[in-house]
A and B are shown apart, each in its own frame.
Chain A
């Protein structure tokens, strides 16, 4: 039988951060980061969807809430990795065809990588780490995982 969820303040902090990031993503995507390609729009809207999933999962708790948090966090991390790979592909492609990526473009791409890590990957990395710990599982009302 699963133990009753423990009051862990981190749970509420993460829910608040998830909601804040969801709002930030939606505002940015509807006001600034427009894209006329439907495929690209779908990829971009994964961000608020995944952060909403994390907020709901962490807020509700229980087993399915834990899985929802894990899925949302993993989606955001995978999104970041995919975005970094796309940036590197573009840089390598342009360097291959043009022989120069340009100092400004190279530093711009590096900045974009750091910005994406900070804006997309940082929160899910911490939240996933917490959800996978004994304390995190207890906060969701799950039994701590048996030690290997």
Chain B
């Protein structure tokens, strides 16, 4: 082979790869925002001390060594003064170093009319949240697909440089403002799952940026500008300043350590949230926005029942006296609905049936099944059998709805007394299996246990197909029911199924190092780092995984890896829960302590989010012990 031929051969094999590699590096470097290490606690405290002095009219430049670090494009340092969940003032200080930009922000704050107008008590109560802008990068707004992933949600902010002589400073939307204003993850990926969204609401972002640059939307449209993403090192002052300011990621500080006491306190905080959102009529505030404190219309009876079950479960573990009356209030509502719904009937053999429904003539299996679970849990927790007659009638209806093969009919027409043999809905079969298992636990009536066994056999057997061990639906109730049935029967098929399901969920759990830029997501359950993980599935999966662990333990094979996965997820969920350390942007009207939002960048709370997550917490505490 000639030298020329050898070189040509090498070039053919190496050049294309080298060119593609270089191309990848260029694209990566263009879009990457490299951020410096985050400020240490003392540096953060120095920044906040300087801003706190500004509240009293004193401009004091911070002097900590870390703050001498240069700021690209002069920052800025954005200081937002939060008072009772509302922005009282916001200033942007530019400077070549963090110290200089902080001093500039302090100067602006000390002369800010809204700051001056604050009474001393309000100033003391207010908390500074600081965003040091540490890097900028381009943003893709126009590409049909890439604009869905234009910003890293909750980590990237959006700004615009106005390309006009004498133009004002760039208007900025901070990373947390992006989700507090509801700009993120609102475009559903598919109509089948409208709750899973991506992308940015650029139209509303433009409206807010125009407002910040004191232009009308029409003026903004014709303004020559260049949009950019930016990242910040964010931290918030603690209440009373008792500890150094807390580092924030997606508006949340790191969570507390996972201990039995911490989990129990977190579960009780969730229960407290639900009790505070329970009306005199026994109905919960079903859904609300934590930022505005406004309730969102809608109600779900299965979720009402599931939430009441959780409260009874917490009572069973803690015996907290303040829980009992609210549980009875919520349970009484279910009983009254079953009485008013017109579902009651007597079978020829004398058995009485009842189901829970409200309005209309169609009763669903889920409302009644979780109603039974809640009433049975109350009985387990209190030994008070006042609801047993109603629970028995409801359970008889569930038995009546069961087919001989163990499956269930899910819808029942009250006016005709006919069950729908075709419609199948998510969750209901597993919920019914749990209801029957719990009825066996409180009555000892073997009919319930046998029916629960048939139901579980059907649910687990459904997965006996070619790729059945590789794909699973939302079967968390199935595994909770399997564990509830342990006193009656343990089956290897249930353990195998739940082990497989736990492994399947474990594959979607982020572990340390999986997502280098997103360490806050460790423990969450998600399929991709590009869509925000929801808190509720992490909670419901963990409830089922605790049951799976207990199934294994009952059989003498507790799974250590499963326990580790469970505790990792519980750590993630504890960080997500709203408390005094992370409530700076929560409206007092929302009474948000103990709440769990949809996901890190959507501050909507629904009762079942709190139910599932906090149920996992209270049972997780027992797991640690």
Find chain B residues with CB under 8 A from A89 CB: 23, 27
In the docked arrangement, what's the CA distance between A102 and B513, Å? 10
Contact A105 B528 (CB under 8 A): yes
Q: Is there contact, CB below 8 Å, between B515 and A102? A: yes
Asked whether any CB of chain B lies closer than 8 Å to the CB of A93, the reply is yes
Contact indicator B27/A99 (Cβ below 8 Å): no
Given known pairs A37-B144, A88-B23, the reply for A96 and B30 (CB within 8 Å) is: yes
- For window 1-32 of chain B, which residues contact chain A by CB distance below 8 Å? 20, 23-25, 27-32
* Residues on A with beta carbons closer than 8 Å to the beta carbon of B529: 98, 100-102
Flag if B149 contacts A100 (CB, 8 Å).
no
B163 is an interface residue with CB less than 8 A from chain A: no
Q: On chain B, which size bracket covers the interface?
A: 20 to 34
Query: Is A99 a contact of B24 with CB atoms below 8 Å?
Result: no
Q: Is the CB of A93 within 8 A of B27?
A: yes
Do A102 and B27 touch (CB < 8 A)?
no
Closest Cβ of chain B: how far from A79's Cβ, in Å?
16
Which B residues are in CB contact (< 8 Å) with A95?
A: 28, 32
Selected from B31, B515, B518, the residue in CB contact (under 8 A) with A93 is B31
Contact of A91 with B by CB under 8 A: yes
Min CB gap A101→B, angstroms: 8
Neighbouring A residues of B149 by C-beta, 8 Å? 93-94, 97-98
Residue of B nearest to A95 (CB): B28
Across-interface contacts of B124 in A (CB, < 8 A): none
Complex CA–CA separation, A86 to B456 (angstroms): 47
B20, B30, B140, B152: the one within 8 Å of A98 (CB): B152
Determine how close the nearest CB of chain A comes to the CB of B120; give it in whole angstroms.
44
A99 touches B31 (CB 8 A): no
- Docked CA distance A107–B348 (Å): 62
Q: How far is the CA of A84 from the CA of B151 in the complex (A)?
A: 24
Query: CB distance B517 to A92 under 8 Å?
Result: no
Q: Can you name the residue of chain A whose Cβ is closest to the Cβ of B27? A: A92
Query: Contacts A93-B146, A104-B528 given: A99-B515 contact, CB under 8 Å?
Result: yes
Write out the residue numbers on chain B whose beta carbons fall within 8 Å of the beta carbon of A103: 514
Instruction: Confirm or deny: B516 has a beta carbon within 8 angstroms of a beta carbon on chain A.
Output: yes
Which of A84, A85, A94, A99 has the largest count of B CB atoms less than 10 A from its CB?
A99
Q: Which of B109-161 touch A at CB < 8 Å?
A: 137, 140, 144, 146, 149-152, 156
Contact indicator A99/B517 (Cβ below 8 Å): yes
Is A100 in contact with B27, judged by CB distance below 8 angstroms?
no
With known contacts A37-B144, A88-B20, A88-B23, A97–B31 Cβ distance under 8 A: yes
Residues of chain A with a CB closer than 8 A to B152's CB: 97-99
Classify chain A's interface size.
20 to 34
Alpha-carbon distance A103/B144, docked complex (angstroms) = 25
CA A84 – CA B156 in complex, angstroms? 28
CB pair B23–A96 under 8 Å, yes or no, is no
Complex Cα distance, B31 from A101, in Å, reads 13
Least distance between B245 CB and chain A CB atoms (Å): 24
B517 touches A100 (CB 8 A): yes
Q: How far is the CB of A113 from chain B (nearest CB, A)?
A: 10
User: B151's contact among A85, A93, A97, A102, by CB below 8 Å, is which?
Assistant: A97
Specify which chain B residues have a CB less than 8 angstroms from the CB of A92 in the assembled complex.
Answer: 23-25, 27-28, 31
Q: Is the C-beta of B530 less than 8 angstroms from some C-beta in chain A?
A: yes
- B28 neighbours in A (Cβ, 8 Å): 92-93, 95-96
In the complex, which residues of chain B have a beta carbon less than 8 angstroms from the beta carbon of A97?
31-32, 149-152, 156, 229
Q: Are A96 and B518 in contact (CB under 8 A)?
A: no
B545 → A minimal CB distance (Å): 21
* Contact A85 B530, CB 8 Å, known A92-B28, A97-B149, A99-B515: no
Is the beta-carbon distance between A91 and B156 smaller than 8 angstroms?
no
Question: Contacts A37-B144, A104-B528, A105-B528 hold; do A99 and B516 have CB atoms under 8 A apart?
Answer: yes
Specify which chain A residues have a CB less than 8 angstroms from the CB of B229 in the assembled complex: 97
> Residue of B at shortest CB range from A36?
B144
Whether the Cβ atoms of B528 and A85 lie closer than 8 Å is no
Report the nearest A residue to B26, measured CB to CB: A92
Chain A residues, Cβ within 8 Å of B151: 97
Interface string of B513-528 (1 = CB under 8 A from A): 0111110000000011
Residues of B within 8 A of A102 (CB): 514-515, 528-529
Complex Cα distance A90/B27, Å? 9
Q: B256 CB to closest chain A CB, in angstroms? A: 26
Q: How far is the CA of A128 from the CA of B516 in the complex (A)?
A: 44
A97 to B24, CA, bound (A): 13
B349 → chain A closest CB, angstroms: 54
> Shortest Cβ distance from A129 into chain B, in angstroms?
13
Contacts A99-B515, A100-B514; A91 near B24 (Cβ below 8 A): yes
B528 near A99 with CB under 8 A, answer no
Q: Which residues of A contact B156 (CB under 8 A)?
A: 97
Query: Contacts A92-B24, A99-B152 given; 19 further ones with Cβ under 8 A?
Result: A37-B144, A84-B20, A85-B23, A88-B20, A88-B23, A93-B31, A93-B149, A94-B530, A96-B27, A96-B32, A97-B31, A97-B149, A97-B152, A98-B518, A98-B529, A98-B530, A100-B515, A102-B528, A103-B514
A interface with B by C-beta (< 8 Å): 37, 84-85, 88-105
Per CB-CB distance, the 9 closest pairs between chain A and chain B, nearest first, are A99-B517, A96-B31, A92-B27, A96-B32, A100-B515, A92-B28, A92-B24, A96-B28, A100-B529
Could you list 27 examples of A-B contacts with CB < 8 Å? Answer: A85-B20, A85-B23, A88-B20, A88-B23, A89-B27, A91-B24, A92-B25, A93-B27, A93-B149, A94-B530, A95-B32, A96-B28, A96-B29, A96-B30, A96-B137, A97-B150, A97-B151, A98-B149, A98-B152, A98-B517, A99-B516, A99-B517, A100-B514, A100-B517, A100-B529, A101-B529, A102-B528
